[in-house]
Homo-oligomer: A and B are copies of this chain.
């Protein structure tokens, strides 16, 4: 997902789902599926017809990874645990309380981290890598 967005920042004009799918090694329908959330959230625009495709609808500096995460529907972060909700068994309640606390705290840390990374920052990081890579290549030749 982020991969797609960064590619779109590099390419200033509209990009079709087909091209993005080719970049990601998947197919266009999947791309549209995951981009739908971003479009509804107003971060992206999609245009039909010849010369259409996807364009950024906001400033990359104002959107954070957390925004993207929520636009995607805030999918579950953790792969484990999260048992049934207090099924009367007190043992279950104790376990849930301890784990839920730990999970909530870890999730808060993760989201805080995502919240202060903007798309523009990612793009800048990419630029730095590109520069380092080309410098390395020049040195090799």
Contacts and interface: CB of A to CB of B under 8 A. Distances in A.
B91 A126 contact: yes
Contact of A95 (B3, B23, B95, B101): B3
Contacts of A101: 113
B91 A102 contact: no
Contact of A79 (B78, B93, B125, B130): B78
**For the side of the interface on A, what is the size category?**
35 or more
Interface of A: 2-3, 6-7, 10, 23, 65, 75-80, 83, 89-95, 97-99, 101-103, 105-107, 109-110, 113-114, 117, 122, 125-126, 129-130, 133
A98 B78 CA distance: 18
A80 B77 CA distance: 6
A102 B126 contact: no
Nearest to A2: B95
Contacts of A113: 101-102, 105-106
Contacts of A10: 91
A7 B101 CA distance: 21
Given A3-B91, A3-B92, A109 B105 contact: yes
Contacts of A76: 79-80
A126 B90 contact: yes
